[in-house]
Amino acid sequence: MSWEIEKIDNVAVVRMNSNPMNIINESFFDDLNEAFATLESDHAENPVVLTSSQRAFSAGLDLKYHLSLFTEGNKEEIWRWYERFRGALLRVFTYEKPVVAAVNGHAIAGGLILALCCDYRVCVNSGARFGLNEITIGFPLPSAIAQIVLYALGAEIAQRVITTGFLYEPQDALKLGFFNESFKQEKLLSHCVDFAGQYNPSLIPGYAFSKRALRHEAVENIKGICTEIDRKLPETLCGQGVLESLGNLLGSLERKK
C-alpha cells in the first residue's frame, strides 16, 4: 500500500498517494481497500480524515487504462472492473466511523465522487477545480454512482451538475453543496483533524448506527435495482461513442504535453 496512515491525537489521517494525480485504476483500488482494511483493524475507534499527499485529491479515472479495457470489448471483464470500482466507493460510503474529506486539490469525476462518499467535506479555497464532467467526455454515469451523488447533493443539484458537466471554482462548489467549508491550504488539514477529533470513542457506536440509518435506502438501491440497471453498462462502455470520445480526449491531452 502506498497510502500513508498517521494517527494525530484520536484521528486516523489517510493520505492518498497512488500516483501523482491519484487517478483511479487497479492500483488505486488496491490501495483504497488495503487502507480501509487497516483502518478497520488498527483504528476501529478513530474518526478518519481522507486527504492526498499529491497536488490533486483525485483527478478521476485513469483514461488510458480504461480506454484500453473498453476497447478490448470483453463485457464480463468490464463488469468485473465496475464491481471493483463500485465496491471501492461503497467501502468509503458505508464506513461506519466519521470520515472527513480534506480536499487539498482538484477533485474531478470519480475523484469528486470519492469525496462525496465522505460524511463531511472541506476543500481548499483556491487553486483547484471540482466537478462531475463525465458527460462532457462521453462517459456514462452508472446508476449506483448516481445514487451516491443524489444522496450527497439532492436531486436538483445532482441533475444540474451531472447533465452539464461543468467544473467549478471552490466558492461555487461550496454553494452547490459539494463541500461544507473551505480553508486555505495551510489550515485545511489541521481544521479537518480538529473537526473529526470531536468524535471520541464513546460517540462512535451511536454515530455508526445513525450513519447506517441515514444511508440505508441508498445502499439498498445500489445493491438492488441499480445492479439490474448497470448490467447494461459494459455494452455502453465498449460502444463506438464512448471509445471515440475517450480516444479524442486522450489525443488532445497528449498533444498538449
Q: Which residue among the candidates 134, 169, 228, 254 is catalytic per the annotation?
A: 134
Strands of the 167-168 sheet, one edge to the other: 56-58, 106-108, 130-131, 167-168
Place of cell 473498453: 70
In whole angstroms, give the CA distance from residue 174 to residue 176.
Answer: 5
The yes-or-no answer on residue 77 being catalytic is no
Q: Tell the burial category of 213 from Cβ atoms under 10 Å away from its Cβ (0-12, 13-18, 19+).
A: exposed
Residue 239 belongs to what H/E stretch? none
Q: How far apart are CA 176 and CA 152, in angstroms?
A: 11
Asked if 122 and 188 touch (Cβ cutoff 8 Å), the reply is yes
Q: At 8, which helix (H) or strand (E)?
A: strand 4-8
Q: What residues are labeled active site?
A: 134
